[in-house]
Amino acid sequence: KRVVAFISGGGSNMLALAKAAEAADFPAEIVAVFSDKADAGGLAKAEALGIATHTFLRRDYADKEAHEAAILAALEALAPDLICLAGYMRLLSGTFINRYEGRILNIHPSLLPLFPGLNTHQRAIDAGMRLAGCTVHFVTEGMDEGPVIVQAAVPVLPADTADTLAARVLTVEHRSYPLALRLVAEGKVRMEGGKTVTSGDL
């Protein structure tokens, strides 16, 4: 399966996917990395792996529609089977999502449906959670609310700060996203009727 990864920042999740995809038996390849930020650290990581990169700066386009139209045109040429949002900090329009319905994945640093949105680690600490973690889900129009594919939990420790918890969650993000992509690329997990459907033995 052909995958285009979308980043806005460091791209550690994109890198985890690219590294996993280097395995001969991995059922997907990252054919390009798209960024909406010219200074995204992930761009250099992708280029170091020989993966094509494209940057689409929002300010280069009159409005959101034009920005997305440019991205969609570039996607048409690449004909990806799947899109993996990996630290991409921009909401996709319903038009975009419908174009790739059931074929866009995202990773969110909380155990959804708890803590959608930003600052998830501080919110988990403030709420007194003893568990935190990440969720890989199919992208639907609502933010961080699509059907879940993979989740992983980590302990919240008494001395944790948002930064120490974020670092612990990242370690399981980097295992969860490749697992989720494998399951979807192999057809073992798919989205149907707005739900995650699993076939065969996981």
Q: Does 146 bind ligand GRF (CB under 6 A)?
A: no
38, amino acid identity: A
Q: Which residues of 48-65 are buried (b: 16+ CB within 10 A; e: fewer)?
A: eeebebeebeeeeeeeee
- Considering beta carbons, is residue 86 or 183 the nearer one to ligand GRF? 86
List the one residue from 86, 112, 124, 148 that touches ligand GRF (CB under 6 A).
86
Give the range of 6-14, 72-80, 156-164, 179-187 binding ligand GRF by CB under 6 A: 6-14
User: Residue number with the shortest CB distance to ligand GRF?
Assistant: 87
Q: Does 53 bind ligand GRF (CB under 6 A)?
A: no
Report how many helices (DSSP H) and strands (DSSP E) the chain contains, helices first.
6, 9
From 108, 121, 137, 174, the catalytic residue: 108
Q: Find the shortest distance in angstroms from Cβ 11 to ligand GRF.
A: 5
Question: Distance (Å, rounded) from C-alpha 45 to C-alpha 10?
Answer: 8
| Separation in Å, CA 55 to CA 5, 28, 74, 97, 133 | 12, 22, 11, 20, 30
Question: Distance (Å, rounded) from C-alpha 172 to C-alpha 123?
Answer: 19
Q: Are strands 131-138 and 29-35 parallel, antiparallel or unpaired?
A: unpaired
Q: Does 9 bind ligand GRF (CB under 6 A)?
A: yes
Q: Find the shortest distance in angstroms from Cβ 112 to ligand GRF.
A: 11
Question: Distance (Å, rounded) from C-alpha 197 to C-alpha 200?
Answer: 10
Owner of token pair 């996981």: 202
Active site residue 108: yes
Q: Find the shortest distance in angstroms from Cβ 94 to ligand GRF.
A: 21
CA nearest neighbour of 134 among 162, 164, 171, 103: 171
- Considering beta carbons, is residue 6 or 24 the nearer one to ligand GRF? 6
- Considering beta carbons, is residue 10 or 27 the nearer one to ligand GRF? 10
Residue 91 labelled as part of a binding site? yes
The residues of the shown chain that bind ligand GRF, judged by CB under 6 A, are: 7, 9-14, 86-87, 107-109, 134, 170, 173
